[in-house]
Amino acid sequence: MDIQQLRATARAMVAEGKGILAADESTGTIKRRFDSINAECTEQNRRDYREMLFRTDGANEFISGVILYDETIRQKAADGTLMVKVLQDQGIIPGIKVDRSTNPLVNAPGEVITDGLDGLRDRLNEYHGLGARFAKWRAVITIGDGIPSQYCIDANAHLLARYAALCQEANLVPIVEPEVLMDGTHTIDRCYEVTEATLRQVYRELAQQRVDLTGIILKPNMVLSGKDASNRASAEEVAEKTVACFLNTVPAAVPGIAFLSGGQSDDEATANLDAINRRASDVGAPWELSFSFGRGLQAAPLKAWGGVSANFDKARHAYYHRAKVTSAARMGSYSVDMEREVAAD
């Protein structure tokens, strides 16, 4: 393990003004996204859509890295250039999703566990050879009646740490993603409680399994009210509770926290990220607070594209704009007025 290299990569992933595009939808998930705009989910459409994102001029000012799916890391762009090279040529770091999605957790109704540890060491070495310099594993914690159980939190945290240790051995920076879902009617305080319990266990396991915290990136949820809660918390309350929760649980050795958007609308995720960065700077939080958005960056370009190649310019424009405003939010310098500037970009 080359810890200096891992640290340098981790710092580059959360460099000033920059964050990560999560474009690692598995085939089932991208199909659902394409279905929503009536686009056919063929290999060529997936390639063309993702190539459009990766070849958006100027987006590399805001995007440090892209998380790829297995299909994409092996794929060539329309002109025969490897997709990985398309990114590298713009100074964007390729990363790879290595979990194999979630399945029901045995003896735990309503809860899930992430699969993918079998054969992981070999797969990580192969991905490094294909150009990946970081990896991602997403664990899912659900809030509901009587859940999450401590059993579910412990099992997922254990696997996240096993994955992270194997990544560092293979010289890949692990993105450690414990996502507490925002689905439901729960309060922001319930989300705080569950996020805190989850992060405590994740860091306990990372320490137990000797993961070097200076060479990882945490990808968590923000502390939010449930999606269907009445009186959802304001951006200021989200920021206050998110920063308080992380100060209590995430060691200062961790170089960066890259939030997921988690099903928030793109403007909500951006406003919350902005408020979080303002709050963090007021209290002197020790880590970079960046983004690793999937839907938060892709909802607008996906809609603008609509599955029609004649719309690629419009879609690039929409993606560039989301990357630009999310980058501003990552620095705490976003304002709603920026949303109106889209035509001028």
Residue selected from 94, 226, 296, 332 as contacting ligand 5MM according to rule CB under 6 A: 296
Residue selected from 246, 293, 312, 334 as contacting ligand 5MM according to rule CB under 6 A: 293
Q: Which is nearer to ligand 5MM, 79 or 96 (CB)?
A: 96
Residue ranges of E strands in 181-302? 217-218, 256-259, 288-293
Residue selected from 294, 305, 327, 330 as contacting ligand 5MM according to rule CB under 6 A: 294
- Measure the CA–CA gap between 180 and 233, rounded to whole angstroms: 16
- Measure the CA–CA gap between 198 and 150, rounded to whole angstroms: 9
- 3-state SS string for 166-200: HHHHCCCEEEEEEEECCCCCCCHHHHHHHHHHHHH
Residue selected from 249, 261, 272, 326 as contacting ligand 5MM according to rule CB under 6 A: 261
Residue selected from 24, 70, 196, 205 as contacting ligand 5MM according to rule CB under 6 A: 24
- Measure the CA–CA gap between 90 and 83, rounded to whole angstroms: 11
The residue among 216, 118, 139, 206 whose CA lies nearest residue 171 is 216
Q: Is residue 268 a contact residue for ligand 5MM (CB under 6 A)?
A: no
Q: From the candidates 18, 97, 136, 219, which is the catalytic residue?
A: 219
Residue 327 DSSP symbol: H
Tell me which residue has tokens 């790879």: 96
Q: Which is nearer to ligand 5MM, 179 or 205 (CB)?
A: 179
Q: Is residue 322 a contact residue for ligand 5MM (CB under 6 A)?
A: no
31 has catalytic annotation: no
Q: Is residue 25 a contact residue for ligand 5MM (CB under 6 A)?
A: yes
Q: Which is nearer to ligand 5MM, 101 or 234 (CB)?
A: 101
Answer yes or no: are the C-beta atoms of 108 and 119 closer than 8 Å: no
Answer yes or no: are the C-beta atoms of 37 and 298 closer than 8 Å: no
Q: Identify which range of 21-29, 48-56, 145-153, 198-206 contacts ligand 5MM by CB under 6 A.
A: 21-29
Q: Which is nearer to ligand 5MM, 25 or 274 (CB)?
A: 25
**Total Cβ atoms within 10 A of residue 216:** 24
Q: Is residue 101 a contact residue for ligand 5MM (CB under 6 A)?
A: yes
Residue selected from 295, 316, 324, 330 as contacting ligand 5MM according to rule CB under 6 A: 295
219 has catalytic annotation: yes
Cα angle vertex 26, ends 23, 29, to 5°? Answer: 90
Residue selected from 260, 271, 276, 329 as contacting ligand 5MM according to rule CB under 6 A: 260
Question: Scanning residues 239 to 258, which ones bind ligand 5MM (CB under 6 A)?
Answer: none
Question: Scanning residues 208 to 237, which ones bind ligand 5MM (CB under 6 A)?
Answer: none
State which residue has the least CB distance to ligand 5MM: 294
The residue among 243, 228, 229, 317 whose CA lies nearest residue 273 is 243
Q: Identify which range of 19-27, 39-47, 49-57, 116-124 contacts ligand 5MM by CB under 6 A.
A: 19-27
- Measure the CA–CA gap between 239 and 128, rounded to whole angstroms: 36
- Measure the CA–CA gap between 56 and 200, rounded to whole angstroms: 39
Looking at the annotation, which residues are catalytic? 177, 219
Where does this chain bind ligand 5MM (CB under 6 A)? 22, 24-26, 29, 101, 138, 179, 260-262, 293-296
